[in-house]
Structure formats: structure tokens, C-alpha cells
A and B are shown apart, each in its own frame.
Chain A
Amino acid sequence: MTAPVKTDPTEAITRAKAGDALAWGELYRDYAPAIFRFCRRALPTREDAEDATMEVFMKLRDKLGQYDQSRSFSAWLYRVAANHCWDTLRRRKIRQDKETEDVDSVPLEHPDANQLDKLIEQRTSEEVRKALNKLGARARMALVMRYYSDMSYDEIADALGVRRAFVGVVLLRARHELRQALERTSALAAGGAT
């Protein structure tokens, strides 16, 4: 369920910490594609994702000394990337006041599983990605952190600045938004076909 992770980076990290440029290059080559994809999913445009990837690695180069090798490098990397992306969105004011207001309105119901099945079956990945792009920044960010980089609820809560207890609410709300976006796409396609 996590993003692709390359070979054990421990040795490269140790060498990079000691100032070995080649080791740093190895780490970059191994992790840049995954971080770029993470940023691409989280940020609105490709250019933003490119900039963010570069900036994340610049931060990493400065912070590598702080990395605790007993923990997962990729998890640490994703956390840095998530914080950076969320901060970028915040600075650009691509925030969702509406979401903040109605995040507590997730209905506690038992939805029709068949309807949900019908909605997601035969959906291509591309359709899902397009629908993802239509979500609010918080919803998209939460889904990316959870289902792309497999971040824990604690990490998501920390990155989004919400209480851990509500990460589930944010995620469920995001799924609802995604379903609505997919439904709208279907309706449009059906309308276009008639």
C-alpha cells in the first residue's frame, strides 16, 4: 500500500551525512520520482510539483543530520514532503474555509454498498486522479498522505494541524467528496453521450 521504496538506504544515508555527494545523488535518484509523484498528487499543477520536489530535497540536504536512522527513511521523507506541500498550499491560500465549517457534517449512516460498488467498478485510475484534482486541498492532501504514502493517523493529524481523533472524519469526508466528483463525471459523460 505504500509508495515504491528502493533498496535499503541506510548506507547511502550514512555516507551522505558524512558529506559524500555521490551518496546524496543516489538517495536523490532513488526517492525523487516518488516524492515528485507525491507532490504531483497533492499540489494543483505540475510546475508546483516540480518546484516542491526540488525544495523538499533542498530541505532534506540541510536536515539530513537530524534524521534518526532507527526510523523509516521513506516515512520521514514523506512527512517532510507533506509538510512542505501543505505549507505551500497554505501560503497560496488554497485552503478550504468551507471544509473547516462543515467537516463535522459527515453523516453517520450505512450507505448502500451496491451503489458504492457500482460507482467504483470500472473506474480507471485516470478518472480517479481527475476526480482527485477536483477535491479541496485538505481532502486531497489527507487522501494522498494516507493512500499514497501510507502515513499514520498521527502523522496526518500532525501535518494537517488537526486532532488525531478527526483524521478519520477528514478521510471519510474526502472519500465522500471523491465519490461526488466521480458521480459528476459520470453524469457529464452520460449527458455528453445522449
Chain B
Amino acid sequence: MNHLDEMTCLLYLERQLDRPRAQEVSAHAQGCAACRTLMRALERESRLLTRAMLEEDEPLPARLKEFQERAKRSLQWIWGVAFGLAATGAYALYTGYIEPWQQQLEQAGFGGTNMLSLLVFQGAFWKGWQSMITLLEATALLTLAGFGAVLFRRRIRRGTATALMLAGLCAVVALPQAVSASEFRKGHSVEVREGETIKGDIFLFADRVRIEGTVDGDVYAFSQDVGVSGHVTGDVIAFAHTLRIGGKVDGNIRAGLNTLTVTGGVSKNALIFCDYANLDSSGNIGGSITAFAENLNVDGKLGRDILIFSKHVSISGVVGGGIQAKGGTMSIGATGEVGGPVRFEGENAPEVSSGAKLASPVEYKKWEHRREYLNKNYYIWRVIWTAAFILFGLVLLMLLPKFGRETISAAEQFGAPIGLGVLVFFGVPIAAVIACITVVGLPLGILAVGIWLLMLFTAELVVGTVVGNWILGRGSSSWEIVGRMALGFVLVRIAYTFLSQVHVLALLGALGIWTWGMGAISLAFYRRFQPVIAPGSPAGPFTPPPLPPNTTVGGVQPA
């Protein structure tokens, strides 16, 4: 006897066969135990499925307990106030800040990128063109990671893909390069003896470190007391209590320490975080000094500029470039020579000896210790700025309502936007700098920086809207969304004002907001521009396969 196929049995059980066929199947099943058993098994399977799906395994989430009817509350009157404040703010902003800044900068001969170029291209961060190759490598890695994410996204969730991608990147970045060329030395006291030559980088961990020989690479020292009287062809990177450079360093010094003394020669730059830094009269630094120090004494010779944040700066030696200093006091002795402009911003007027040789008089700006929050203008400006931001958000939402909703929806996923935000926050400026260097890519680089800045300013609004949604529930109309944005933004601002009293927390808070918001915008962009199936056909109707030969699908007919 021919048995019924599974499809026929299923359609029969689901009452999808037409009457004659159903009667045929029914008659067959009465005489065929195998088919009856199959039907019973299929029925059991259906019941199992229904039971599994209907079972209340998860309670209704708290946020779904009540429909967010509060969304309907109108907050439109706020916009009248906000608009007025914002218009006032825009005018006051221009006349009070932008115009005077422009004039001051022009008078001071400041280009917008002077500080950046001092820090990056002339200063302590610049490692030469080799570092650009590293940047290119990093960009190549980022591109690869992007491809990886695109490949992965069909298989795993977007957030997971982003997390994997970031973790992979971190792992690659953390991999030590040319491990075989590096040397590690540990102990109570370690040294590179006189006459000894280390090829490659060396990592030294000890209470006392002495380098009397030659290191043909970088020196990484973690120690109480580090002394370099030999020759280092690369950089000296040190975390120590004391660092003395008596020998020759062809690269840079980058150090976090208590005391730095340079009596030898450093060919490039010094980036230091320390209590006390002294460039001895016999010492020589070819590049610039960027320092965050309590005291800085320059008695020796410095090839280029000084950028310093310190309690006290004393110059008795030769500075080839200019000085930009912020801090308590500054003195330039009779033997001091400065080849560039000297700008000092601090508590006390600089003491300049009459014998000092300066390219131009010292520009001094006195610090005014005012507690901002005791000033009533502070609050007025806060309100004006807040209103201006909200107005900005309002305009954006009115111009791009759908994209705004998509961004907010993306921000509510947390993991993916924050992961992507980290990438965008750090990756885009790097990519833009590289693009600008190629000159051909200059417009692209500038455009990228422009978009990045726009995203940065919008990030706080996105986060504010999410906070507003937490409080009032999701809004459906544009005005409801704007209301949530305003409320959330104000709350974020208030919270941030308190946080900003502690600088580290302020930085962390700002970073969190920026990466979260920027990530959400990027995610919305990504979703917007990914290819979609033609609208109106949810899954793309597919060409139907031929029907089973013994199955007649027709109207619903009871068996």
C-alpha cells in the first residue's frame, strides 16, 4: 500500500485540503496504521509547538507595563521660550565670544592649528614619518575590520560583530611588534654595561636601571631610579621616580616621573609629566619640551619651543623657539635667551631680568580666580547655551525627522552604538589627518572633520533624547520627541555640570556621551545606506516550487 506523504498529512490535519481529497485521506488513514501513527505524531508536534510558544516563560518587561501615554503631554510652549533665548544667545555669542576671539587670535598671529601643530608635528608626539606608516597600518587594519564586520553581520548580531571587531583590533594593536628583537631585563638592579650593544628595543624592570652601553632601539624603563649615560638611538620611555640623562638620546623622551635631569643630549623632543624637570647648563634638547610639571628649569640649550603647564618656570639657558606657559610664576634670568614669542598666562607677572635676550616682549595674561558658578552670568550663559543646543536639535529633527528617529532607536541599543562610537571618535580624525596629508584628499579630510564635529555636537542631544525617553516613554510625533530631547538634554547638562567639578569624571562622562551619541548616528547612517529589498514586498516573493503531485491545496474544508 502507498502511504500518504508528510505534506498531505499535515495539510489534512490543518484542514487545508479540499473536501474530496480530505475524504480520500481520511478513508486511507482508517485502513492504514502507519499513516494514522504519522498523523498522531504530527499532531503531537503541533501541540508541543503551541505549548512551547504559549508558555509564559518571561514576565512582561517593566517598561511595557503601562503604555507611555505621558508622551502626549504637550511641551510646545517651551519652544517659544527656547527660540527667544537661542536668538539672544546667538547674538550674544557672536559679539561676546567669537568676535573678540577672532581679533585676539589675529593680533597674536595665531592660526587655528598652531597649538595642534606644536603638539603633533613639532612637539613631543611626533616620531617622524615612521609614525605615519604606523597610522597607515592602523587605517588598513580599521578597513579590514570594517570588511570583517560586513561579512559577519549576516551571521551574528551587529553589536556582537562590533564588539568582536574592536576586541580583534585591540588584540592586534596589543601584539608586540618584532618581539624577537626586544629584550627584557628584570631584577633589583639591571644595567646595559659599557661596551655592550643591544640591537632592538629593551624593556627594563628594576629598582635601579643604568644604561652605560648602547641601545640601538627604544628603551622602556619601569624603575625607581633610571640613569642613561650611554647611547640610545631610539626613544627613552620611562616611568620612574628619577630619570637622569647624562649620555646621548637620538630620539625623544617620554616620561612620567618625579624628577628629570638632563645633562647630556636629546636630539628630539621631551614629553614629561613630573614634579621637577631640569635641563642642566650642560644639557641639550634638540626639539621641544612639552611638560606638565611643578617646576621646570631650563639652564641648558633647547632647540625649539616650550609648551608648559607648571607652578614655576625658570629660564636661564637658550630656547630656540617660543614659549607658551601657563602656571604660577615664570622667571627669565640674565643669561636666558628666547628665540620666539613668549606668552605666559598665570597668577603672577613674569620676572624678566634686564639682561635676558628676548625676540619680543613677554605677553602676559593674568589669571583671574573667579568661581564661575558664583557669577550670575554663568547661569545665564548656561541657559542660553542649553537653549541654543535644543534649538539646534529641533532644527535637525524638523529637517531629518526619519533619520532622527532612526538615530534615537539606534542609541537605545547601547552596546553597538558605543562600540561603533569609540571607533568613529578616534578613527575619523586619524583618517582625516591622513587624508589631508595626501593633499589630494584634503577636501575629503576637511569634510570628514566637519561631519565628525557635527556629530560631536549632536551626540549630547541624542543621549539627551534617550534619557528623555526613559523618563517620559517613547514619543511618536516629532514634537513629543523634541520634548523628550529637551528634557533629557537639560538633565544631562545638569548632571554634567556636577561631574565637571571633578575633571577626571568630566572627561569620562564627556567621552561616554560622545562615543554613545556618535555611535548611534553612525549606526543610523549605516542602516540607512545599506541596501534594502524593494519596498512593499516584505521578503521578496519567491518563485513557487511545483506542488506535490498528490496534494490539492484549496479552500479551508473540514475533513
Given A108-B7, A129-B53, A147-B49, answer yes or no on A159-B60 (Cβ-Cβ < 8 Å). Answer: no
Task: Tell me how far the C-beta of A98 lies from the nearest C-beta in chain B, rounded to whole angstroms.
Answer: 11
CA of A161 to CA of B544, assembled, Å: 11
CA of A111 to CA of B38, assembled, Å: 8
- The reply to whether B48 and A100 contact each other, CB–CB distance below 8 Å, is no
Write out the residue numbers on chain B whose beta carbons fall within 8 Å of the beta carbon of A165: 544, 547, 553
Interface string of B127-158 (1 = CB under 8 A from A): 00000000000000000000000000110010
- The reply to whether B61 and A36 contact each other, CB–CB distance below 8 Å, is yes
B545 CB-CB contact with A under 8 Å: yes
Q: A6-14, A66-74, A116-124: which one contacts chain B?
A: A116-124
B175 CB-CB contact with A under 8 Å: no
- The reply to whether A86 and B539 contact each other, CB–CB distance below 8 Å, is yes
Q: How many of B's residues come within 8 Å of A, CB to CB?
A: 66
- The reply to whether A93 and B40 contact each other, CB–CB distance below 8 Å, is no
A134 CB-CB contact with B under 8 Å: no
Task: Tell me how far the C-beta of A134 lies from the nearest C-beta in chain B, rounded to whole angstroms.
Answer: 13
A78 CB-CB contact with B under 8 Å: no
- The reply to whether A41 and B53 contact each other, CB–CB distance below 8 Å, is yes
Residue of B at shortest CB range from A60? B67
- The reply to whether A168 and B11 contact each other, CB–CB distance below 8 Å, is yes
Write out the residue numbers on chain A whose beta carbons fall within 8 Å of the beta carbon of B53: 37, 41, 129, 132, 143-144, 147-148
Residue of A at shortest CB range from B60? A33
Given A86-B539, A109-B6, A161-B539, answer yes or no on A103-B545 (Cβ-Cβ < 8 Å). Answer: yes
Task: Tell me how far the C-beta of A51 lies from the nearest C-beta in chain B, rounded to whole angstroms.
Answer: 7
Interface string of B310-336 (1 = CB under 8 A from A): 000000000000000000000000000
- The reply to whether B38 and A113 contact each other, CB–CB distance below 8 Å, is yes
- The reply to whether A129 and B57 contact each other, CB–CB distance below 8 Å, is yes
A183 CB-CB contact with B under 8 Å: no
Q: B116-124, B256-264, B450-458, B529-537: which one contacts chain A?
A: B529-537
Write out the residue numbers on chain B whose beta carbons fall within 8 Å of the beta carbon of A44: 157
- The reply to whether B49 and A128 contact each other, CB–CB distance below 8 Å, is yes
Which chain B residues numbered 44 to 58 have a C-beta less than 8 Å away from chain A?
44-46, 48-58
Write out the residue numbers on chain B whose beta carbons fall within 8 Å of the beta carbon of A125: 48, 51-52, 55, 57
Task: Tell me how far the C-beta of B400 lies from the nearest C-beta in chain A, rounded to whole angstroms.
Answer: 18
CA of A21 to CA of B551, assembled, Å: 50
Task: Tell me how far the C-beta of B23 lies from the nearest C-beta in chain A, rounded to whole angstroms.
Answer: 19
- The reply to whether B44 and A120 contact each other, CB–CB distance below 8 Å, is yes
Write out the residue numbers on chain A whose beta carbons fall within 8 Å of the beta carbon of B537: 161
Q: Which one, A86, A93, A126, A153, contacts B538 given CB within 8 A?
A: A86
- The reply to whether B50 and A120 contact each other, CB–CB distance below 8 Å, is no
Given A103-B542, A108-B7, answer yes or no on A132-B61 (Cβ-Cβ < 8 Å). Answer: no
- The reply to whether A25 and B533 contact each other, CB–CB distance below 8 Å, is no
B281 CB-CB contact with A under 8 Å: no
- The reply to whether B530 and A93 contact each other, CB–CB distance below 8 Å, is yes
Given A45-B157, A117-B44, answer yes or no on A25-B66 (Cβ-Cβ < 8 Å). Answer: yes
- The reply to whether A148 and B54 contact each other, CB–CB distance below 8 Å, is yes
Task: Tell me how far the C-beta of A10 lies from the nearest C-beta in chain B, rounded to whole angstroms.
Answer: 20
B362 CB-CB contact with A under 8 Å: no
How would you classify the secondary structure of chain A's contact residues: helix, strand, loop or mixed? helix
Task: Tell me how far the C-beta of B114 lies from the nearest C-beta in chain A, rounded to whole angstroms.
Answer: 47
Task: Tell me how far the C-beta of B52 lies from the nearest C-beta in chain A, rounded to whole angstroms.
Answer: 4
Which chain A residues numbered 128 to 162 have a C-beta less than 8 Å away from chain B?
128-129, 132, 138, 143-144, 147-148, 152-153, 159-162
Write out the residue numbers on chain B whose beta carbons fall within 8 Å of the beta carbon of A61: 476
A4 CB-CB contact with B under 8 Å: yes
- The reply to whether B34 and A110 contact each other, CB–CB distance below 8 Å, is yes
CA of A172 to CA of B16, assembled, Å: 13
- The reply to whether B45 and A116 contact each other, CB–CB distance below 8 Å, is yes
Task: Tell me how far the C-beta of A20 lies from the nearest C-beta in chain B, rounded to whole angstroms.
Answer: 12
Residue of A at shortest CB range from B10? A172
B195 CB-CB contact with A under 8 Å: no
Given A125-B55, A175-B45, answer yes or no on A108-B5 (Cβ-Cβ < 8 Å). Answer: yes
Q: Which one, A40, A106, A120, contacts B7 given CB within 8 A?
A: A106
A17 CB-CB contact with B under 8 Å: no
Write out the residue numbers on chain A whose beta carbons fall within 8 Å of the beta carbon of B527: 91
A171 CB-CB contact with B under 8 Å: yes
Write out the residue numbers on chain A whose beta carbons fall within 8 Å of the beta carbon of B154: 93
CA of A40 to CA of B58, assembled, Å: 9
Write out the residue numbers on chain A whose beta carbons fall within 8 Å of the beta carbon of B68: 54
Interface string of B154-187 (1 = CB under 8 A from A): 1001000000000000000000000000000000
Write out the residue numbers on chain B whose beta carbons fall within 8 Å of the beta carbon of A86: 538-539
A114 CB-CB contact with B under 8 Å: yes
CA of A114 to CA of B41, assembled, Å: 8
CA of A121 to CA of B41, assembled, Å: 10
Which chain A residues numbered 15 to 56 have a C-beta less than 8 Å away from chain B?
21, 24-25, 28, 32-33, 36-37, 40-41, 44-47, 50-51, 53-54
Residue of B at shortest CB range from A33? B60
CA of A113 to CA of B55, assembled, Å: 26
Write out the residue numbers on chain A whose beta carbons fall within 8 Å of the beta carbon of B57: 125-126, 129
B63 CB-CB contact with A under 8 Å: yes
A163 CB-CB contact with B under 8 Å: yes
CA of A24 to CA of B535, assembled, Å: 31
- The reply to whether A37 and B56 contact each other, CB–CB distance below 8 Å, is yes
CA of A161 to CA of B542, assembled, Å: 8
- The reply to whether B16 and A153 contact each other, CB–CB distance below 8 Å, is yes
- The reply to whether B533 and A147 contact each other, CB–CB distance below 8 Å, is no
CA of A17 to CA of B456, assembled, Å: 43
Residue of B at shortest CB range from A100? B542
CA of A132 to CA of B40, assembled, Å: 21
Identify the B interface with A (CB < 8 A): 3-7, 10-11, 14, 16, 34-35, 37-38, 40-42, 44-46, 48-58, 60-61, 63-64, 66-69, 153-154, 157, 409, 412-413, 474, 476, 527, 530, 532-533, 537-542, 544-551, 553, 556
5 shortest A-B CB distances, which residue pairs?
A: A104-B545, A128-B52, A125-B52, A110-B3, A113-B37
Identify the A interface with B (CB < 8 A): 1, 3-4, 21, 24-25, 28, 32-33, 36-37, 40-41, 44-47, 50-51, 53-54, 57-58, 61-62, 83, 86-87, 90-91, 93, 95, 100, 103-106, 108-111, 113-114, 116-117, 120-121, 123, 125-126, 128-129, 132, 138, 143-144, 147-148, 152-153, 159-166, 168-169, 171-172, 175, 178
Pick 7 A–B contacts, CB within 8 A, sort by A: A50-B63, A108-B6, A111-B6, A117-B37, A125-B51, A161-B540, A161-B541
